[in-house]
Amino acid sequence: MSAPPATGPSTSPAAPGEPAGPARRQAVDTHCPYCSLQCGMRVRPGGAGAPAEVLERPDFPVNQGALCGKGRTAAEVLSPAARLTSPLVRGTDGVLRPAEWSEALDRVADGLLRAGAAYGRDAVGVFGGGGLTNEKAYALGKFARVVLRTSQIDYNGRFCMASAAVAHQRAFGLDRGLPFPLEDVARTGCVILVGSNLADTMPPALRYLTELRENGGRLIVVDPRRTRTAEQADLHLQPRPGTDLALALGLLHLVVAEGRLDEEFIASRTSGWQRTLPGVMAHWPELVERITGVPVPQLREAVAMFCDAADSMVLTARGPEQQAKGTDTVSAWINLCLATGRSGRPRSGYGCLTGQGNGQGGREHGQKADQLPGYRKLDDPAARAHVAAVWGVGPDDLPGPGRSAYELLDALGRDVRALLLMGSNPVVSAPRAAHVTERLRALDFLAVCDVVLSETAALADVVLPVTQWAEETGTTTNLEGRVILRRRAVDPPPGVRSDLEVLAELARRLGRDDGFPTDPEEVFAELRRASAAGPADYAGISYARIAAEDGVFWPCPAEDAPGTPRLFLDRFATPDGRARFTPVQHRPSAEEPSPEYPYYLTTGRVLAQYQSGAQTRRVRELNAAEPGPFVQLHPRLAARLGVADGELLAVTSRRGRAVAPARISAAIRQDTVFMPFHWPGEGRANTLTNPALDPASRMPEFKVCAVRVEAEGSAASGEVGAEVGAEVGAEVGDGARDDPS
């Protein structure tokens, strides 16, 4: 079936105060370009040089018209003044200059081809993004494996919820962020929200917690900071960073000790409890208090609130997941749900709040190092055979699994000599960012496809300007597993092409004349075939059906089959249909405070900015609300340091040094400082963060590392370690490429 028209009269009623009839410019129903809520909105094109407008779309069930400031101002990035409109190539003088598309594409194809010919196929890498549509993520994975035939592909979604994904697979046999729709959150009896600040990261979702409490439910928030979300809670648990695993084990210990186990559920629907029990009993309340700093009475109160409710949920986000033990931490929270029978039934269960706009779909369809479309495993012979048949190649032609995201970035300039990067800005977003920046500079060749000249694009040999959300049609999959359709609402500026067109042109230059269509609906039709009968089965989902049903929940194996908003009600996706307990033990973070680095650093987002800030830092209203980095610290720590609010602080870790103004607040623990990670330059938080990897998910430990904090004027030179000094020097050294921005 054909897609709904990309442009044309809106099927939604006129917004309040908006003229009706012919005088009204046509508006198009679409979705926000930012977080995983994928809020519904309407975009009305500008006329006679006027900018496009974002309007409310009350009929979309997830946000019911509500938009945060980022969504409301999203059209500002559509302006040609805010984005790239011509390819750029680096000249012999080291400066990026405008170029024609033919020259730029020839340069990219030649750079990739030369690296592969000189050093082997795996010397060419591909790095994707969790904001790419399903169609683009699918095509990028296919391009890497069919055209380049490289195993070296991963994406920035590895930094998002990889730990939760592995824990999901361990316990349930299937990974979908939320196994239930968001509407169920408002209808449960108690929610434990771990390491999420919804009020800042996805504000329209906060209404589900408000409705929860209006319906008589209780909210427990676990966070080292008293965020705006924590202020809404009935109980705020404020553990030391990196101790969420001990906290979950301590709560489950009390469940056992107080006789609150659901023995019938454990016996009938799970396996592995007896192997898990010893680790749980080793974490008695007083020990957990010493590890976490959470008082025993609060632990008991949390257990009572969670277990006394008829239905309960645990929702985790980046706080517990972005740790070198993130997979085990999520498994411990899942164990709590299983042991109390809070899973596999309506209005109860464990869920993960995906962060990036297409963080869910982005990892389902092939841009992750170990996966093929449909969430198939790359090392599964049956999966390889199925996808290879769809792609028209032999199973043995497909490479095996490659490196995870940070490991791939760390190999740049050594094993990996050329890189094609789409939709990511690792100069700002990667851990140990000064080192990653230097690895990018060490490449023989770097090509970047982006909407704006990001800090990473500024290092490239070729920059290709590509279309963005409102300029293209394509699907994304939100945090509920709801596949939705972004529609093209405005024309891109002249000189801008879609990522699908870029991949098709590169494939042709590299000897593959077919197999890379540029029509997103045609790509989606192929994705449906490739995913058919896989764990993430999209076979029954079409553009027309998405439009008719406000999105379709996967799995959906046939066009006459319903989608699946609620998973696991009858059985789990394991071979025997039972959920599996995972034995886990608390262990320290990869880096704990020491005399030299006595404080914890934790990082996160703020309301007015998004991810690496590549888009939001170009929006005037958002920059006015939050113009730059800062260091949040407790008043007592500020007094010890002799620093006043707004004065510069130097924060130093074993990897580097960052400087930003102090923001003094009693909302944070005295042993912890917080920095948002949206900015480059001297206030870049990820200069400091630790790339220690979770052994199962390969997730870096963004959320906790040890730092020294000093008033900037008192920071003595020469105190930084040898590695830090080398990296900081490289960051400003003569070898840096010119930045034309």
* CATH number where 269 lies: 3.40.228.10
Residue position matching structure tokens 């200069």: 687
Amino acid at 632: Q
Q: Are both 64 and 111 inside the same structural domain?
A: no
Q: pLDDT digit string (tens) for 282-341?
A: 999 999 999 999 999 999 999 999 999 999 999 999 999 999 999 999 999 999 999 999
Q: Are both 666 and 695 inside the same structural domain?
A: yes
| Residue 685 located in a structural domain | yes
Q: pLDDT digit string (tens) for 338-357?
A: 999 999 999 999 999 998 99
Distances (CA, A) of 169 to 37, 117, 313, 581, 696: 23, 38, 18, 11, 11
Q: How far apart are CA 520 and CA 502, in angstroms?
A: 13
Last residue of a domain, one of 37, 64, 82: 82
Q: Which among 460, 450, 455, 458 is positioned nearest to 430, based on CA atoms?
A: 455
Instruction: Calculate the average pLDDT of the chain.
Output: 92
Token duo for residue 121:
């196929």
Q: Are both 336 and 362 inside the same structural domain?
A: no
Q: Would you state the pLDDT for residue 715?
A: 44
State the CATH number of the domain containing residue 665: 2.40.40.20
| Residue 235 located in a structural domain | yes
Q: What is the DSSP letter of 225?
A: B
Q: Would you state the pLDDT for residue 713?
A: 74
* Three-state DSSP class for residue 486: strand
Q: Are both 125 and 174 inside the same structural domain?
A: no
Beta strands, E only, 75-158: 88-90, 96-98, 124-128, 153-155
Q: How far apart are CA 26 and CA 45, in angstroms?
A: 7
Rounded to an integer, the average pLDDT of 141-163 is 96
Q: Would you state the pLDDT for residue 12?
A: 37
Q: Would you state the pLDDT for residue 23?
A: 38
Q: Would you state the pLDDT for residue 161?
A: 87
Token duo for residue 149:
């035939």
β-bridge partners, 649: 660, 711
| Residue 132 located in a structural domain | yes
Q: Are both 128 and 189 inside the same structural domain?
A: no
Q: How far apart are CA 505 and CA 512, in angstroms?
A: 9
Q: Would you state the pLDDT for residue 355?
A: 87
Q: Which among 202, 194, 512, 448 is positioned nearest to 337, based on CA atoms?
A: 194
Q: How far apart are CA 464 and CA 109, in angstroms?
A: 13
Q: pLDDT digit string (tens) for 663-716?
A: 999 999 999 999 999 999 999 999 999 999 999 999 999 999 999 999 997 543
Q: Are both 181 and 308 inside the same structural domain?
A: yes
Kindly tell me the burial class for residue 101, based on how many C-beta atoms sit within 10 Å of its own C-beta (0-12, 13-18, 19 or more).
middle
| Residue 37 located in a structural domain | yes
β-bridge partners, 270: 579
Token duo for residue 582:
């995972």
Q: Are both 300 and 375 inside the same structural domain?
A: no
Residue position matching structure tokens 């972005």: 322
| Residue 739 located in a structural domain | no
Residue position matching structure tokens 């040890």: 706
Token duo for residue 511:
């000897």
Nearby residues of 81 by Cβ (< 8 Å), 6 or more positions away: none
Q: Are both 197 and 333 inside the same structural domain?
A: yes
If one compares 476 and 16, the residue with the highest pLDDT of the two is 476
Q: What residue numbers bound the domain in which 697 lies? A: 599-729
Of the pLDDT bands very low, low, confident and very high (cuts 50, 70, 90), residue 740 is: very low
State the CATH number of the domain containing residue 56: 2.20.25.90
Q: What count of other Cβ atoms lies within 10 Å of the Cβ of residue 679?
A: 24
Q: pLDDT digit string (tens) for 240-259?
A: 999 999 999 999 999 999 99
Of the pLDDT bands very low, low, confident and very high (cuts 50, 70, 90), residue 731 is: very low
Last residue of a domain, one of 317, 337, 352: 352
Q: pLDDT digit string (tens) for 570-624?
A: 999 999 999 999 999 999 999 999 999 999 999 999 999 999 999 999 999 999 9
Q: pLDDT digit string (tens) for 625-657?
A: 999 999 999 999 999 999 999 999 999 999 999
pTM higher than the cut 0.95: no
Q: Are both 340 and 288 inside the same structural domain?
A: yes
Q: Would you state the pLDDT for residue 714?
A: 57
Q: Which among 235, 251, 339, 245 is positioned nearest to 296, based on CA atoms?
A: 251
| Residue 480 located in a structural domain | no
Q: Would you state the pLDDT for residue 50?
A: 80
pLDDT at 439 over 80: yes
Rounded to an integer, the average pLDDT of 227-247 is 98
Of the pLDDT bands very low, low, confident and very high (cuts 50, 70, 90), residue 724 is: very low
Q: Are both 249 and 374 inside the same structural domain?
A: no
Convert 161-183 to b/e letters by CB count within 10 Å (16 or more is b): bbbbbbbbbbbbbbbbbbbbbbe
Q: What percent of the chain has pLDDT over 70?
A: 93
State the CATH number of the domain containing residue 396: 3.40.50.740
* Three-state DSSP class for residue 352: strand
Q: Are both 153 and 166 inside the same structural domain?
A: no
Last residue of a domain, one of 513, 544, 579: 513
Which sign, positive or negative, has the C-alpha torsion 368, 372, 376, 378? Answer: negative
Kindly tell me the burial class for residue 118, based on how many C-beta atoms sit within 10 Å of its own C-beta (0-12, 13-18, 19 or more).
exposed
| Residue 272 located in a structural domain | yes
Q: Would you state the pLDDT for residue 460?
A: 98
- Domain total for the chain? 4
Q: pLDDT digit string (tens) for 542-558?
A: 999 999 999 999 999 99
Q: pLDDT digit string (tens) for 50-90?
A: 889 999 999 999 999 999 999 999 999 999 988 999 999 99
Q: Are both 236 and 150 inside the same structural domain?
A: no
| Residue 276 located in a structural domain | yes
